[in-house]
């Protein structure tokens, strides 16, 4: 199975660039730079800030309102109440990516991460997914691990190679995938069905959730299949990156049998 638009990046690109100041951040956005995270001081106002808010709304960029003390801890330079972190990767959109996978005659195998916020887990999952030939990783714009140097290092550079799709709503994305003929398989303990009982040979999207709360109820309700990893020890749970690897390679095993 071949991947779509794998991107080669030199090691020296494994850094996140910080941009601060309202005008500088606006220029970065207008130039098409990917914003990984955006911090805005609480209580800002004025004409320029109004222009800034309109711009980020138009580009659908999420931001965090924080006290000025947090901004001052990030940088002591004149940030004007706004600091942006530029992503080292280029995010893609699954609505554009999926038709291309089908057009190439390939059977999509996708991975959706719901609430995975640990950067090292993100990196480890990306490494496994890239090695297995997963076509893309889908994450939400809010509540997902930041793609930073730690994530990239843990991924062994895989985050520069496998497409990462950052979507506004995982529920809407899931419905789009299902309408496009991709089955949604949620990995959860809230079922009796094993991951080994699911047929992954057709177009599939595996959904993994955060270790503490799992996959959201919204995704569980609309999924095609719920499946759990059998547990036989006393601990009864796996790290999410390990769980993702187990499910992904069951899918690969089934596909390789054909």
Residue 227: inside a domain, yes or no? yes
Does residue 118 lie in a domain region? yes
Of 86, 110, 131, the last residue of a domain is: 86
The pTM (predicted TM-score) of the whole model is 0.85
Residues 137-158, mean pLDDT to the nearest whole number = 93
Q: Does one domain contain both 108 and 219?
A: yes
**pLDDT in the model for residue 5:** 46
Q: At what angle do helices 47-58 and 22-30 cross, to 10 degrees?
A: 30
User: Is the per-residue pLDDT at 99 higher than 70?
Assistant: yes
Note whether 65 and 174 are same-domain residues. no
247 lies in which domain range?
A: 94-257
Are 101 and 197 members of one domain?
Answer: yes
The three-state DSSP-derived secondary structure of 122-147 is HHHHHHHHHHHCCCEEEEECCCCCCC
Q: Give the orientation angle of helix 240-257 with respect to helix 119-132, to 10 degrees.
A: 10
Mean pLDDT of all residues in 154-158: 96
- Those residues with Cβ within 8 angstroms of residue 238's Cβ, 6 or more apart along the chain or in another chain: 229, 231, 246
pLDDT at 156 over 60: yes
Residue-level pLDDT at 235: 87
Q: How confident is the model at residue 248 (pLDDT cuts 50, 70, 90)?
A: very high
Is there a single domain that holds both residue 36 and residue 122? no
Residues 81 and 101 reside in one and the same domain? no
Same domain membership, residue 161 and residue 104: yes
**Where among 55, 86, 117 does a domain terminate?**
86
Give the angle subtended at the CA of 181 by the CAs of 177 and 183, to the nearest 5°: 70
Measured distance between the N- and C-terminal CA atoms of the chain, rounded to whole angstroms? 13
Structural domain contains residue 70: yes
**pLDDT > 90? residue 58:** yes
Q: Average pLDDT, stretch 206-217? A: 92
Instruction: Give the domain-ending residue among 31, 51, 86.
Output: 86
Please, which pLDDT band fits residue 7 given cuts at 50, 70 and 90? very low
Residue 17 has a pLDDT of: 85
What distances in angstroms separate CA 207 from CA 28, 184, 214, 240, one per listed residue?
Answer: 33, 7, 10, 11
In the chain, the number of structural domains is 2
Is residue 76 located within the same domain as residue 192?
A: no
Give the tokens for residue 199. Answer: 């047929």
In a domain, 164, yes or no: yes
H or E segment to which residue 100 belongs: helix 94-103
Average pLDDT over residues 88-109: 96
pLDDT at 258: 56
Residue 3 forms part of a structural domain: no
Distance CA 125, CA 69 (A): 34
245 vs 242: CA distance, rounded Å: 5
pLDDT of residue 60: 87
Count CB-CB contacts under 10 A for residue 133: 16
pLDDT in tens, 15-51: 458 999 999 999 999 988 899 999 999 999 999 999 9
Average pLDDT over residues 123-136: 98
Asked if pLDDT for residue 210 goes beyond 50, the answer is yes
Kindly state whether residue 4 falls inside one of the protein's structural domains. Answer: no
Q: What is the pLDDT of residue 119?
A: 95
Identify which has the larger pLDDT, 211 or 136: 136
Task: Compute the distance between CA of residue 112 and CA of residue 23 in angstroms, rounded to an integer.
Answer: 35
Do residues 125 and 168 both lie within one domain?
yes
Q: How far apart are CA 47 and CA 69, in angstroms?
A: 23
Of 4-18, 29-43, 96-110, 187-201, least confident by mean pLDDT is 4-18
């Amino acid at each position: 199975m071949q991947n779509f638009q794998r991107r080669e990046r030199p090691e020296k690109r494994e850094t996140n660039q910080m941009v601060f100041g309202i005008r500088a951040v606006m220029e970065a956005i207008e130039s098409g730079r990917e914003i990984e995270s955006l911090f805005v001081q609480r209580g800002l106002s004025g004409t320029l800030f109004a222009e800034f808010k309109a711009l980020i709304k138009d580009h659908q960029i999420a931001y965090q309102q924080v006290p000025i003390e947090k901004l001052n801890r990030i940088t002591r330079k004149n940030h004007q109440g706004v600091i942006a972190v530029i992503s080292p990767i280029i995010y893609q959109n699954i609505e554009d990516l999926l038709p291309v996978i089908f057009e190439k005659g390939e059977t999509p195998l996708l991975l959706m991460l719901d609430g995975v916020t640990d950067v090292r887990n993100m990196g480890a999952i990306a490494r496994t997914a890239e090695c297995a030939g997963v076509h893309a990783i889908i994450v939400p714009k809010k509540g997902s691990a930041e793609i930073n140097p730690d994530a990239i290092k843990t991924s062994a550079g895989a985050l520069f190679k496998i497409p990462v799709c950052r979507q506004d709503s995982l529920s809407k994305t899931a419905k789009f995938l299902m309408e496009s003929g991709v089955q949604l398989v949620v990995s959860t303990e809230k079922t009796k069905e094993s991951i080994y009982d699911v047929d992954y040979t057709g177009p599939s999207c595996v959904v993994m959730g955060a270790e503490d709360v799992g996959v959201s109820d919204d995704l569980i309700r609309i999924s095609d299949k719920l499946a759990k990893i059998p547990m036989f020890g006393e601990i009864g749970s796996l790290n999410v990156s390990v769980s993702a690897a187990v499910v992904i390679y069951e899918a690969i095993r089934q596909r390789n049998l054909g």
